[in-house]
Structure 1
Amino acid sequence: MKATIRSVAQEAGVSTTTVSKVINHTGSISEQTRKNVLAAMKKLNYSPDVAAASLRGKRTKAFGLLVPDISNPFYAEVARSIEDRSHDFGYNVMMCNTDNDAEKEKNYLSLLTSQRIDGLVVASAFRSPDLLEEMLDKGFPMVLIASEIPKLSVNTVTVDDYKGGYLATSHLLSLGHKKIAIIIENVRSNAARLAAFKEAMQEADLPIPDGFIVKTEAAIQKGYESGKKILSMKEGPTAIFACNDLLAAGVLQAAKEVGLNIPQDLSVVGFDNTVLSTTTSPMLTTISQPIKLMGAKAVDLLIEEMKQEKGNKERLLLSPELIIRQSTASISI
C-alpha cells in the first residue's frame, strides 16, 4: 500500500502535525526529530502528492532542476539560463546535483516533491525513469533538457547531437586529417556524436584503428588520462574529437605534457562551447550548443504545460554550430 502521512508519523513515533511541519518547513522542531521523520519518509518511500496539489492551483512559485554535475561548465550554464528565464516568470529554482547516481536521483526527487515544486526540469539521463513516469501520469509539469528518455511522453529540448558530431569530424577531415580519434562520455547524447563520427569516417573511406575510440567520464582529468592513452600509441592520431569541452581541455594538457604542439602536431575539437573553450591555451575549436536558448525554451514549455495551453508534448531539436578557433589546423605534410 502507498505510504501516507499517518504511516510516516507512526514509523517516526511522532504526530502527523510534526510530519507536516517537516514537509512544509514550518514550526519549531528539533534537528533529531526532523532527521527521524526524513528517515521514515525514505524508508516508506513517501512523498506528498505534489501533482494533485499543483493541479489544484496551490503554486509555490518554484521549479526543481536536476543536473548530473554542476562543476561541468555546460550544466552550470544550463542552470543559469533556466534560472534567468524562470525569474522572468517570477519563479525560483531549486537545483540538485545527482552525479548520475540512481539513489541520489530518488532522494532528490523526493526532496523536491516534498517542497511542492510547481514543475521539474531534468538535465540528466536519469537512471530511474519509472519515478518520472509516475509523476507524468499524474499530470505533473515536466521537461527534459539536453537529454532524452525515449519511453517517456514528455516535453524535451535537445540539440542535434548527430549533426554536431558530423560537423566536428568533417572539419577535421577538411583539414586533411586521416587518423582521427574520438573520446566520448558514456551517455545517450554522445552515442549520437559517435555514430556521426563513424559515418563521416566511413564516407571518407578511412579506417578507425583499435584504440581510437575511448569511452570515459566527463571530467578534465579523464580527458587528460584518455589523451595520454591515445597519444602513447605507436601510430597515434593527428587529430582528436573530444565530445565535450572538459574532455578536450584534458586532451590539451596531455598533448603538451608529451611534447606536442597544438595545433601544429595535433588538432583538437571539443563540444559545447562553454566558457572553458575560450580559457584554454590555445582557445578551443568546438561545437556550440545554443545553451541560453535551450534553457529559455525549457522554461517556456514548462509554463505552457502549467497553463494547460498545449495538450501534446513537444520535442524541440535545436541546431549546433561549428566554432573555429586556434586548436585545429591543416595537417603538416
Structure 2
Amino acid sequence: MTAPERGQATILDVARLAGVSRTTVSRVLNEPERVTADTLAKVRAAADRLNFVPSAAARSLRNGRTGTIALLVGDVSQPFHGGLAKTISHEADDLGYSVMLYDLAHSETRLRRVLEKLPKQGVDAVVLATADALVEPETLQALDVLHEHGIPVLTTVDRDDARHALSLGFDYREPARAATSAMAGSGHGPVALLVGTGIGPLGRQLVAGYLDALSPGAPELVVETPYDFDGAQAAAAALLDRASVGGILAATVPMAIGAIRAAEARGLRVPDDLVVLSGEEVPLAAQVRPAITTLSAAAERNGHAIMRLLADALAGRDAPRPPLEAELVVRESFVPAR
C-alpha cells in the first residue's frame, strides 16, 4: 500500500486503519489523557503510516504535544502585558510554537472559564500573567486539573494562591522598599503607594516593601485603585486633596501617569513639588513628559525569562535559574540622591 501524499489523508482514513471510531481519533487529538495507551499507540501508528496532515494536530499524534501555549494576561491594553505578549509570541514562533492569547479583563470568572477549557484544547503550557488575586475555589481547582494533566503553569510573579505554578522568582518587595526609601530621603515629604484594587500577590509584595521602608511615625498611605490611568488619576486626586504627599510609588506606568496628571491639575510640579516612581519598566515610561523613573525588570526581560523557564519545563528539566533583578532607570520624574 502506497502512503498517500501529505495532506490527503483524513481523520476517517486514520480511524479505519486504526480500527477505531472517528470520535476516538478526535479524542486522541484533543483529549489524549482520556484514551488508553494501546489505543493511543494504534492511532499514532496509523497517522504515521498515512502521513496524516503535518499540522499541530499531527504533531500531537506523534509526540503528545500540540505546539500551543496559552498566554493569559490581566489586561492586554496595559503596556507591560503588551510587551510581554510580543516577546513571548516572537520567541515561541522561533521555537515552533503558536500562542493563544486570552485577555482576562481582570475577571476571575473569565479566568476560571478559560482554565477549565484549556485541557480539552490540548495546550502544552499556560503562562498566567495577572496581578489579580485568585480567591474562588473553582479557579484553584481548575489550576489543579491542569497540573494533573501535566500542563505546566508559569507565572511572572510568585503566587501563594497557585500552589503548583512555576514562577520567575522576581520579588517586588525589595524594589518597593528601595524606591520608597529613596523617595522618603529626598526631603519632599511622605510617600504614598498606589496599588491595584483587591490586592493580589504583586500588590502584597509592593505593600510589604513599602511598609518596610517607612520610618517610625511616618504615615502609611496605601491607596487601592484599578491598574489603569483613569483609576489612578482619580485616586491620586483624592489622596492629594486630603494629605500632604511628597512622593508617589505607582505599581504601573499608566498609574504613574495618572498620578502626575492629578498633581498637575492641582498646581504641583513633578519632580519639584512631587516625585513619582513606577514599579514597572515599559517603553511608555520614556515617551511621556515628564519621563518616568522606574525600578523593576522590563517586560521584555520577563518574557525572555518566561520562555526559558517554559522550555525547561517542557523538556522535564529542573534547571534553577537566577531570579530577575530590578534595574533603576532614572528619568525626569525622580532623580535619587547619590
CA distance in 2, matches of 1:23, 1:106: 25
Give per-residue Cα distances to partners, 1:162-204, cap 9 Å, x unaligned.
11101211221232233111111122112111111111113xx
From 164, 167, 171, the equivalent of 1:160 is 171
Deviation at 1:55, TM superposition (A): 10
Identity %: 23
Q: Distance in 1 between matches of 2:148 and 2:261?
A: 47
Q: Assess, with a 3 A threshold, how the Cα gap between structure 1 residues 50 and 99 changes in structure 2: closer, same or farther.
A: farther
CA distance in 2 between partners of 1:289 and 1:200 (Å): 20
Matched, 1:193 2:199: no
Of 237, 243, 247, the match for 2:251: 243
2:149 aligned residue: 138
Q: In structure 2, what is the equivalent of residue 89 of structure 1? A: 95
Displacement, 1:224? 0.2
**Equivalent position of 1:282 in the other structure:** 290
Per the alignment, residue 42 of structure 1 pairs with none
Q: Is the 8 A contact 1:51 1:135 kept in 2?
A: no
**Relative to 1, partners in 2 of residues 1:19 and 1:288: Cα closer, same or farther, differing over 3 Å?**
same
Q: Does 1:63 align with 2:72?
A: no
C-alpha contact (below 8 Å) 1:238/1:267 kept by paired residues? yes
- Asked whether the 8 Å contact 1:273–1:286 carries over to 2, the reply is yes
Structure 1, gaps ≥5 residues long = 1-15, 25-46
Query: Which residue identity does 1:141 align to in structure 2?
Result: P
Query: 1:206 Cα shift?
Result: 4.3
- CA distance 1:274–1:50, shift in 2 (3 Å): farther
Secondary structure at the aligned position of 2:126 is classed as: strand
| Candidates 318, 324, 327, aligned match of 1:321 | 327
2:323 is paired with a residue of what secondary structure?
strand
- C-alpha contact (below 8 Å) 2:190/2:245 kept by paired residues: yes
TM-score (norm 1): 0.77
CA contact (8 A) 1:67 1:98 kept: yes
Partner residue, 1:258: 266
- Gap change, CA 1:175 and 1:101, over 3 Å in 2: same
Counterpart residue number, 1:74: 80
Q: Which residue, out of 198, 214, 226, partners 1:217?
A: 226
Instruction: Tell me: higher relative CO, structure 1 or 2? Use CA pairs within 8 A at least 6 residues apart.
Output: 1
Q: Distance in 2 between matches of 1:226 and 1:19?
A: 56
* Corresponding position: 1:301 with 2:309: yes
Whole-angstrom distance in 2 between the partners of 1:237 and 1:86: 44
Structure 2 length as normaliser, TM-score?
0.76
Structure 1 residues 51 and 217, CA, compared in 2 at 3 Å: closer, same or farther? farther
Alignment partners' CA distance in 2, 1:262 and 1:151: 39
Paired positions, count: 287
Residues 289/57 of structure 1: CA separation in 2 closer, same or farther (3 Å cut): same
For residue 260 of structure 1, what is the amino acid of its counterpart?
L
RMSD, aligned CA: 3.0
Contact residue 123 and residue 144 of structure 1 kept, 8 A: yes
1:151 shift after superposition: 5.0
Secondary structure at 2:227 match in 1: coil
Q: How far has the Cα of 1:58 moved from its partner?
A: 2.8
